[in-house]
Structure 1
Amino acid sequence: MAFLTPSAFPFLMCSNINVSLSGKIHVFWININYCGKLDKKLNGNEIWPIPIYMKTLILMVALTFTPAFILSEESSWEQLYNGKDLSGWQTTGNWIPQKDGSLLIQPREGEKGWQRYDAYLWSKKKYKDFVLHVEYKYPPGGNSGVFFRVGDLKNPVQTGIEAQVLDSIKKKGKVGPHDHGGIIRTIGASKNMSKKPGEWNRMIVTCKGSHLQVELNGEKIVDIQLDKTPMKDRPLEGYIGLQDHGVPNNLYFRNIKVREL
C-alpha cells in the first residue's frame, strides 16, 4: 500500500492514491473545495487539499492504468485445470470434469485406500518456487491432500510435501499435522479454518526456497522454514498433485492455478 503526499509529489498536492495488492488503484479526495493550507496528517505525513482541476487528471490516470494492473496480475497465473478436461495432467484415477467447471474425484467401486499413487492427479510439469491456488469441498468425513514438490510420482509420500485436506470441522482443541491444513509429518495449522462439508474451501500454498506458507480460507495457518523440519531433505522442485484417497471420498475441486515466482 502506498500513499502519495506533498513532500514526495508536490504537483499532486493533496491526492492520496492507494495501490492495493490486487492491482486496483483507489483515489481518495480530501477537502477539494479549497486549497493552499495544511489540512490533515496521515502517519506523520502532510496531506494537502487537492485543487479541483487535478481531480479529473488523477481519475484519468487511475482509469488508464487500473485495467493494465489487473490484466498483468491475471496473466501471471497458469490455469492447471481448464474446467473442461484433464489436459496437462496425468492420472489413472476417476477424475470427472463437471458442467459447472469443477472437477470431481469419484473413486471407482473397489478402489479403497490412499496408496494408489498413480490414481492421484499429477501435473505433467515440475514447479520450484510458486504460489498454488486451489478450491475444494468435501463430504462429511472427506479426505484428500494437496501435494507439491514431489520428486518421484511412485513414492510421493517420501519424496514430496502434503498439505492435508480433511473434514475437521468437528475437531476440538489444537489441530495437528494430520488435520485440515496441516503439513503431514511436520506441523499442524495454527488455527482450525475448516468449512462445513459441502462448502468451498480455498487453500493458497506459497513455496520460495525453504520457506513455506499456507493460507486457508483467508487465514495464514502455516509459516515455516522447511530446512528446519523433517522435510529438510525433500526436493525443492517437483510435481503438483491432488490425492485420490479412495472410496468413499468424493471431493470437488475448482480454480486450480499456479503462479511461478
Structure 2
Amino acid sequence: MKKYLFSSLLAAALLGGAANVHAQTRSLFNFKDLSGWHIDVPAMDKDASVKTPFILRDGVFVSLANPQGHIITDASYENFRLEVQYRFPGKPGNCGVLVFASTPRVLYDMFPKSIEVQLQHNDAGDFWCISEDITVPDMEKRRGPKKDWGVVDGKQRRIINLTDNSEKPLGEWNTMIIECVGNAIKVWENGDLVNYGTHATASKGQIALQAEGSEVEFRKVDLTPIKKFSAKGH
C-alpha cells in the first residue's frame, strides 16, 4: 500500500511545486550556546533543581529525552526549507520536529500548537496534528475513518508516512528535509519523499525540537528561506 501511496504523493508534489530556493542558508544553532532558542519544560517550572534536557556535547546539540518538553526558536518563520541531520546514538525512541508552532502547552500541558514531523524510529516523516491540521492524499487510508479525525486529545491526529526503510540503521546519521511553502509541507528522509500535505491551518510559526522518549543528537539544523513565485514566474 505504501508504494501506491508514495507514487500518488510524488505526482502531487511535482505538480504542486511553487517555490524557488535561492537564498542564504544559515544554521539555527551556533553549537556554542543555545542563543536564538528558549526552553519550555513543564517540570522545570515546578522544581528549580530539575536540569534541562537540552545540551551541547562534543560539538552537537543533544535532546536527552527527559524531562519531556521542547526547545523553541525565538523567531517565527514562513516559506523555508529546514535540513535536520540527526541520529539515535543509543536506544531508539521518540522525538520530533515541530513547525508552525505558536501557542504553548495546548496539548497535555506540554505540546505547543503546531504540526509535528515525526523523528521516532521506524516512523520518521509521520505528521502529528497538534491543534493545527493538514490534508494529505489518501487521507482515510493514512489517518483512519473520517469520523475519528481531529487535532485534540482523543482524536486521530497521526497521519502515517508513505515509505518503509527510508531511515538509516541505528547509530547512523539521518537527513530529514522539511519544506514549508504557504500552507503546504513536504518531507524527505534520506532523499525519499516521505510525506506531503496541503491546506495546513497555519503557514507561519516557530520551530521546535522535542525531548520525548529517547536521546537524539543533532549535528545540523539549517534553514533556507524560500521565495515563492507564481506559475508565470512573477
* TM-score for both structures, normalised by structure 1: 0.57
In the TM superposition, 1:136-215 aligns within 5 A as: 136-138=86-88, 139-155=90-106, 157=111, 159-168=113-122, 179-184=123-128, 185-192=157-164, 193-215=166-188
Distance in 1 of aligned mates of 2:206 and 2:94: 20
Q: Say whether 1:131 aligns with 2:71.
A: no
Match in the other structure for 2:54: 95
- 1:96-130 residue CA offsets vs partner (Å, 9 max, x unmatched): 2122x21112245xx3xxxx4xx311100001111
CA shift, 1:81, in A, is 0.8
1:239 to 206, 217, 224: 206
Unaligned runs of 5+ residues in structure 2 are 1-20, 42-51, 129-156, 227-234
Q: Counterparts of 2:113 and 2:64 in 1: how far apart (Å)?
A: 26
Q: Distance in 2 between matches of 1:107 and 1:164?
A: 15
Residue 20 of structure 1 is matched in structure 2 by none
Q: Does 1:105 align with 2:63?
A: yes
Within the candidate set 217, 222, 227, 1:257 is matched to 222
| Structure ranking higher on relative contact order (CA contacts 8 Å, 6+ apart) | 2
Q: Which amino acid aligns with 1:162?
A: E
CA gap 1:221/1:245 in 2 versus in 1, 3 angstroms: same
TM-aligned CA deviation for residue 181 of structure 1: 1.2
Q: Is the 8 A contact 1:148 1:162 kept in 2?
A: yes
Distance 2:171 2:77 in 1: 30
Q: Deviations over 1:13-64 (max 9, x none)?
A: xxxxxxxxxxxxxxxxxxxxxxxxxxxxxxxxxxxxxxxxxxxxxxxxxxxx
Alignment gaps of 5+ in structure 1: 1-71, 169-178
* Identical amino acids, percent of aligned pairs: 28
Contact 1:167–1:196 (CA under 8 A) maintained in structure 2: no
Deviation at 1:218, TM superposition (A): 0.9
State the match for 1:57 in structure 2.
none
